[in-house]
Amino acid sequence: MITYKTKYALKALMVLADETSGKGGALRIEEIAERSGAPKRFLEHILLDLKRAGLIGSRRGRKGGYELIKEPKRVSLAEVLRLIDGPLAPLPCLSRRAYQRCEDCTDEEACRVRAVFGGFYAAYSLMIESLTLADLQEDAQPIERFALPEPHAGE
């Protein structure tokens, strides 16, 4: 599951993509918070992270605010998820960018847990790496695109 922090980051990026991308304008944090539904205090930290990562820029002054500085099709959802929540891999031994051997593992090649989650992670990684902010801007429903199974009670 993605965290609320990541969800707010994605919503803020969508607002910025819709309102500032290629238009030369900027939005104040209050406007972004209102349009994205993210609490302003929480959003301040998120926008700083996105700015440090080079996804958005900021301007000072009367017409100041935040703006998307990358094209939406060049903003990887996987990049945003990693930036906000850290590694995507379900196990540290599966991560390509933050690999760590599991403390309790004596043989990665024979580890059944790693094998099962490795298959899942490979499929998830392929899918999430292909998605961009531009995909979020489209009206197509993700369920239609990837044919997800119906959720079970309690999920």
| Segment among 6-10, 47-51, 147-151 with least mean pLDDT | 147-151
CA distance 153 to 126: 27
Q: What is the pLDDT of residue 155?
A: 56
Instruction: Report the pLDDT value the prediction gives residue 135, as an integer from 0 to 100.
Output: 92
Neighbours of 149 (CB within 10 A): 6
Of the pLDDT bands very low, low, confident and very high (cuts 50, 70, 90), residue 140 is very low
Q: What is the pLDDT of residue 149?
A: 56
What is the torsional sign of CA 76, 33, 50, 125? negative
What's the mean pLDDT in 46-65? 91
Question: What tokens were used for 63?
Answer: 């017409």
Which range has highest mean pLDDT (20-29, 71-80, 137-146)?
Answer: 71-80
- What is the architecture of the domain spanning 4-68? Orthogonal Bundle (1.10)
Q: Where in the chain is the domain with CATH 1.10.10.10?
A: 4-68
Question: Given a cut of 80, is residue 105 above it in pLDDT?
Answer: yes
| Beta carbons within 8 Å of 79's beta carbon, 6+ residues apart | 53, 55
Q: Give the model's pLDDT for residue 21.
A: 65
Residue 147 pLDDT exceeds 60: no
pLDDT tens string 42-53:
999 999 999 999
